[in-house]
Amino acid sequence: MMDGKPSIVFAHGIWADGSCFSKVIPTLQAEGHEVISSQYGLNTFEDDVATTLRSLGRVSSPAILVGHSYGGSVISAAGTDDRVVGLVFIAALAPDDGETSQTQLDNYPPTDVFKGVEVADGRIWLTPDGVEAFAGDLTPAEKKLVWATHYAPAADLFTHAVHGAAWKSKPSWYIVAQNDRTIQPDLERFFAQRMNATTTELPTSHVAMLADPEGVLEVIHAAVASVQEMAGAPA
């Protein structure tokens, strides 16, 4: 039985770090949740999953994992851990066991954001033009901050196979970003349907948690309420 509120562990995507959830973390903390945002290096998929599992160990169980973009691949693997009771995907990849992050992307036309990247020193860097496709509905100041703080992934990161698909056994929620120019919205809908997720669509760019934090919080709150109800815990 769950004694209190579940913890929340965030997993970020590429061109970001854990601070990309800064608009939703304070509210969840104020509501009494233990919250941690994994800070991984985007060097290898295995290392990123391992870091997320270590982050799980820094909060009380049970926990809900929340993954944005590539972070969806991370929580699909890390979410098989027994400490995890639910998954929230934000405009996220959700590979099946044995697939790579790139597998499903290849089935859809290239997105605008990849016209605004540069490969250098073995990493994939976002250009200022790429920021417009990545986070076009943020304010000019916020877009400059996204570019200044973006963290480039290893060039082969998306080719690493995922081991485990937690969404097959854990309750899942999915946020489709309707105006996404990084991951095709129809691909997001495919992932949501395949995992039989409770699905919400928001009229945002790829970075829904920055563009519409209240909408994202509503979905996280729904996930919290559901896992508490299933566990028979007080709200």
Averaged pLDDT for residues 154-178: 95
Q: How far is CA 214 from CA 154, 162, 177, in A?
A: 32, 31, 14
Lowest model confidence (mean pLDDT) among 31-35, 53-57, 95-99, 174-178: 95-99
**136 vs 3, higher pLDDT:** 136
Averaged pLDDT for residues 200-225: 98
Averaged pLDDT for residues 45-67: 96
**pLDDT class for 2, splitting at 50, 70, 90?**
low
Q: What is the mean pLDDT of the chain?
A: 94
pLDDT tens, residue by residue, 16-47? 999 999 999 999 999 999 999 999 999 999 99
What is d(CA 171, CA 87) in angstroms, rounded to the nearest whole number? 6
pLDDT at 70 (0 to 100): 96
What is d(CA 122, CA 120) in angstroms, rounded to the nearest whole number? 5
What is d(CA 105, CA 188) in angstroms, rounded to the nearest whole number? 10
CB-CB contact of 99 with 121 (8 Å): no
pLDDT at 101 (0 to 100): 87
The alpha carbon of residue 105 and the mean position of all alpha carbons in its chain are separated, in whole angstroms, by 16
Say if residue 53's pLDDT is above 60: yes
> What element of type H or E holds 64?
strand 63-68
pLDDT tens, residue by residue, 75-105? 999 999 999 999 999 999 999 999 988 888 8
All domains in the chain, ordered by first residue: 7-107+157-231 (3.40.50.1820)
Tokens of 173: 């929620």
pLDDT at 102 (0 to 100): 87
For the sheet with 84-90, list strands across it: 35-37, 7-11, 63-68, 84-90, 172-177, 198-202
Averaged pLDDT for residues 191-220: 98
Q: Kindly give the pairing relationship between strand 117-120 and strand 123-126.
A: antiparallel
Say if residue 119's pLDDT is above 90: yes
Letter for the amino acid at 95?
P
pLDDT at 1 (0 to 100): 45
